[in-house]
Amino acid sequence: MDLFIQYLVAGVTYGIMYAIVAIGFNIIYNTTGIINFAQGEFVMLGGMTAISLLEYLPLPLAIAAAVLITMLIGALIEMVFIRWLDSPSVLRMIIITIGLSILIREVALHIWGENIRSLPYFYGDEVTTVSFGPVRLSPQVLWVIGICTVMVACLSLFFKVTPLGREMRACSANRTAAILCGINTRNMVTFSFMLSAGIGALAGCVMSPITYTQYDSGTSLAIKGFTVAILGGLGNSVGAVAAGILLGIIEAFSVSVLPLAYQDVISITILLLILFWRPYGLFGSSAAARLKEF
Amino acid sequence: MNGLLRKSVMVLAAIGLLAAPAVQAGTLKIGAILAETGPAAFLGKPEVKTLKMLVEQVNAKGGILGNKVELVIKDSAGKKENAVSFAKQLIEEEKVFAILGPTRSGSTMAIKNICEQAKTLLISCASTKKIVDPVARYVFKTPQNDSLAVRKIFEEMQKQKISKIAVVVGGTGFGKMGKMFMNKLAPEYGIQVVANETYSPKVTDLSALVTKLKANKDIQAVVNWSIVPAQTILAKNMRQAGWDVPLFQSHGFGNINYVKSGGKATEGIIFPAGRLLVADSLPDDNPQKAVLVQYKNDYESKYKEPVSTFGGHAYDAFMILKKGIETAGSLDKEKVRDAIEHMTFAGTGGVFKFSPKDHSGLGIDAFVMMTVKNGAFAPYHGK
């Protein structure tokens, strides 16, 4: 039983991180129809910027500043590369965002070098453990689960209740109708990039002590995040959370029966199976999927 | 007018081509393929810095046999494919005299045949025994064999009466060779490998693996074999799970940056290394001491960072090549190769004794057991 809980905790930690990246994909996809493959880089930038700012600011301020800076970078990317495009095709957008992710990675390499870095643990250090009965884990894990859950809750509230959130939802439901209602859809697009960048950056900061941050840590995260986004139904954020936790748990438990070497095989196999069997995701609906272009 | 112009251009070009070799005489081009960026950067960066420092020193003293050394460094970023294309480029376009490196075992194995067939000297900074077994005439290496590192670890385990271990390796050339040697040599020391696991080199968390291994109460020690950041991630996950069994690392742990990134979790890690990390405490009559202390002081005063054993491997490679050329007395590749093959050389990794059958030159006595105490490397004196 203890083993079960230990694996479960590892799985949920990972799952929530994948889910945050997936939600980032979903926000941008919903508002613009674009799959932003540079999403992983936002996570990396958040962590790296916070680490650099740590020399001048205390930890909470450094993280807040890093999130704001990454949001600005997200907005800049949108305004410079995306805004002036005139109804681009999906394929063109994908290639542009992949190119952007490579660009950001190389710039990060020049600024920060190739060393691995990490933020200090929020509480304690590398060997502190907290015990819940037989289960022992690092307090950082609790921070990850806590902060990410709060983020997901805030986001759903934001989209349901605030005017800005509802305008973004209107944009994603039907762009033309939104324009007719007087919503400035171009600003919505910029804002969606900012929001995605912001949550990605916060997730990057909070997982940095556990996973280390390096100039190329965004890539594998983007792939897993994309898998989770598809798994949960592209555009469906609640689905993303469920799918993320599901994938994390499957990966963690797979270690108990299969050699560790197969862990990545599992997630890619699941992605392939889902794409063959239910391409609109576990929680997406085929009717809604047909209405979308992708 | 057109014909005259063309003819004059051709004449000028011919003179240029004839003049070029005249300008080249007196320069010795040495190529290096090192992983300055990427997952092996903790190894490659000190190697690059060391080579640059040595070339500067040697050129200030007049070069090798009066030839100025020109170092052509290519950053493989730790990738085999890059190593292969750079090797071809260095041999065919740059026409280097010899190649130093690569940093990683996988990259070295990828270019071993290329260099052998091109009859270009390759002195690798990677450690797997396969580089020199089977022996290729032009291929040498400076780190100690991974098989010897395994033996050193097992000897220590025997002393501590450890008989059941878990073997955890990274999915790289280095890791796979380590796993092979550990499983092959364990029975000789009465040790049983009860768990064998491989992780992806890019892995960022091993807590699921630690859960699985910790549940096996038989395991008395864990041996990790990799050079990627996962070395320290494993240490962190083990201590966070409250698992206190001894953790042994390969000789790929010899850079203080690994200790810095792992913090308190790296306390007590045991690993074999060359004597560079304990240079100052060696007795004065130790054949390596002068070389070690000189290199350590030069490197640390120039770059303001502690030495690592990996920079030492590059030091050995360059100095062995230099000594080979000076012993042969000429830039004839065959003579230099023969000189190296019969050389004895006190370097940072140990005292090298090359022979036609042994292109690695180091024995198990090249190692000392080290550990991490209070965030710094210290000699290990047993439990």
A40 in any annotated domain: yes
**Residues of chain B positioned with their CB less than 8 A from the CB of A251:** 208
Q: Which two tokens stand for residue A242?
A: 């469920």
* Residue appearing with tokens 């095989």: A265
Residues B127, B33 share a domain? yes
Q: Please judge whether B261 and A212 are an interchain contact, meaning their C-beta atoms are less than 8 angstroms apart.
A: yes
Quick one: pLDDT band at residue B270, thresholds 50, 70, 90? very high
Is the model's pLDDT at B25 over the cut of 70? no
Q: How many domains does chain A have?
A: 1
Give residue B191's domain range. 147-273
pTM for the whole structure: 0.81
B329 in any annotated domain: yes
Lowest mean pLDDT among A125-134, B76-85, B223-232, B335-344: A125-134
For the stretch A99-146, pLDDT in tens is: 999 999 999 988 987 778 888 888 877 777 888 777 888 888 888 888
Residues B157, B120 share a domain? no
Q: What is the pLDDT of residue B223?
A: 95
Q: Nearest-CA residue of chain A relative to B212? A: A256
Is the model's pLDDT at A274 over the cut of 50? yes
Is the model's pLDDT at B215 over the cut of 50? yes
Question: How many other CB atoms are found less than 10 A from the CB of residue B26?
Answer: 10
Q: What is the pLDDT of residue A290?
A: 55
Is the model's pLDDT at B4 over the cut of 80? no
Q: What is the pLDDT of residue B115?
A: 93
Whether A116 contacts B227, CB under 8 Å: no
Q: Which of B47, B210, B212 to mutate to test the interface with A (most CBs of A within 10 A)?
A: B212
Residues B34, B121 share a domain? yes
Q: How many domains does chain B have?
A: 2
Residues B155, B137 share a domain? no
Residues B353, B262 share a domain? no
Residue (of A77, A49, A78) closest to A65 by Cα position: A49
Q: What is the pLDDT of residue B248?
A: 95
CA angle A56, B36, A105 (to 5 degrees): 55
Residues B263, B188 share a domain? yes
B5 in any annotated domain: no
**Residues of chain A positioned with their CB less than 8 A from the CB of B41:** 113-115
A140 in any annotated domain: yes
Quick one: pLDDT band at residue A285, thresholds 50, 70, 90? low
Q: Nearest-CA residue of chain B relative to A207? A: B204
B325 in any annotated domain: yes
Query: What does the pLDDT average to over A276-293?
Result: 67
Say how many CA atoms lie within 13 Å of B99 toward its Cβ: 32
Q: What is the pLDDT of residue A291?
A: 56
B75 in any annotated domain: yes
Backbone angles phi, psi at A83, to 5 degrees: -60, -40
B36 in any annotated domain: yes
Chain B closest CA to A182's CA: distance in Å?
46
Q: Which two tokens stand for residue B25?
A: 């005489």
Whether B113 contacts B328, CB under 8 Å: no
Q: Compute the mean pLDDT over every residue in chain A, rounded to the nearest whole number.
A: 86
* Residue appearing with tokens 């480029």: B89
Residues B134, B48 share a domain? yes
Residues B339, B254 share a domain? no
Select the highest-mean-pLDDT range: A21-35, A245-259, B356-370. B356-370
User: In chain A, how many H helices and how many E strands?
Assistant: 12, 2
Give residue A120's domain range. 2-224
Closest partner residue to B208 (CB to CB) among A10, A136, A214 is: A10
Chain A with chain B: Cβ pairs closer than 8 A: 99
B347 in any annotated domain: yes
Share above pLDDT 90 across residues of chain B, in percent, rounded to a whole number: 62
Q: Which two tokens stand for residue A14?
A: 């990972």
The partner residues of B140 in beta bridges, in order of sequence, read B123
Q: What is the pLDDT of residue B317?
A: 95
| CATH code of the domain in which B193 resides | 3.40.50.2300
Chain B closest CA to A11's CA: distance in Å?
8
Q: Which of A1, A114, A132 to mutate to test the interface with B (most CBs of B within 10 A)?
A: A114
Quick one: pLDDT band at residue B23, thresholds 50, 70, 90? very low
A239 in any annotated domain: no
Q: What is the pLDDT of residue B313?
A: 94
Between A215 and B184, residue with greater pLDDT: B184
A154 in any annotated domain: yes
Q: What is the pLDDT of residue A288?
A: 58
Q: What is the pLDDT of residue B151?
A: 94
Chain A closest CA to B196's CA: distance in Å?
8
Share above pLDDT 90 across residues of chain A, in percent, rounded to a whole number: 23
Share above pLDDT 70 across residues of chain A, in percent, rounded to a whole number: 96
Is the model's pLDDT at B24 over the cut of 60? no
Q: What is the pLDDT of residue A88?
A: 73
B73 in any annotated domain: yes
Whether B300 contacts B280, CB under 8 Å: no
Residues B265, B316 share a domain? no
Chain A closest CA to B37's CA: distance in Å?
6
Whether A284 contacts A235, CB under 8 Å: yes
Lowest mean pLDDT among A171-175, B59-63, B243-247, B249-253: A171-175
**Residues of chain A positioned with their CB less than 8 A from the CB of B372:** none
Quick one: pLDDT band at residue B158, thresholds 50, 70, 90? very high
Quick one: pLDDT band at residue A293, thresholds 50, 70, 90? very low
The ipTM, to two decimals, is: 0.80
Is the model's pLDDT at B120 over the cut of 90? yes
Lowest mean pLDDT among A195-209, A269-283, B351-365: A269-283
C-alpha torsion sign, points B114, B117, B123, B126 = positive
Distance CA A218, CA A106 (A): 12
**Could you say which of B247, B273, B299 is where a domain stops?**
B273
Residues B302, B267 share a domain? no
Chain B closest CA to A260's CA: distance in Å?
6
**Could you say which of B273, B299, B322 is where a domain stops?**
B273
Helical residues (DSSP H) of chain B, grouped into ranges: 2-24, 41-60, 80-88, 105-117, 146-159, 173-185, 207-214, 230-240, 256-262, 289-303, 309-328, 333-341
Lowest mean pLDDT among A3-7, A233-237, B55-59: A233-237
Q: Please judge whether B171 and A261 are an interchain contact, meaning their C-beta atoms are less than 8 angstroms apart.
A: yes
Q: Nearest-CA residue of chain A relative to B215? A: A3
B2 in any annotated domain: no
Q: Compute the mean pLDDT over every residue in chain B, rounded to the nearest whole number.
A: 89
Residues in chain A: 294
Residue (of B92, B24, B4, B51) closest to B298 by Cα position: B51
Q: Please judge whether A6 and B261 are an interchain contact, meaning their C-beta atoms are less than 8 angstroms apart.
A: no
A115 in any annotated domain: yes
Chain A closest CA to B193's CA: distance in Å?
15
Is the model's pLDDT at B48 over the cut of 70? yes
Is the model's pLDDT at B60 over the cut of 50? yes
Residues B173, B49 share a domain? no
Residues B293, B267 share a domain? no
For the stretch A186-202, pLDDT in tens is: 888 899 999 999 999 99
Between A99 and B18, residue with greater pLDDT: A99
Query: What does the pLDDT average to over B33-56?
Result: 92
Q: What is the pLDDT of residue B324?
A: 93
Lowest mean pLDDT among A46-55, B77-86, B274-283: B274-283
Amino acid at B175: G
Closest partner residue to B211 (CB to CB) among A6, A115, A116 is: A6
Q: What is the pLDDT of residue A131?
A: 82
**Residues of chain A positioned with their CB less than 8 A from the CB of B207:** 6, 10, 13, 137
A285 in any annotated domain: no
Q: Please judge whether A125 and B240 are an interchain contact, meaning their C-beta atoms are less than 8 angstroms apart.
A: no
Q: What is the pLDDT of residue A90?
A: 77
For the stretch B126-136, pLDDT in tens is: 988 899 989 99
Is the model's pLDDT at A208 over the cut of 70? yes
Quick one: pLDDT band at residue A292, thresholds 50, 70, 90? low
A72 in any annotated domain: yes
A210 in any annotated domain: yes
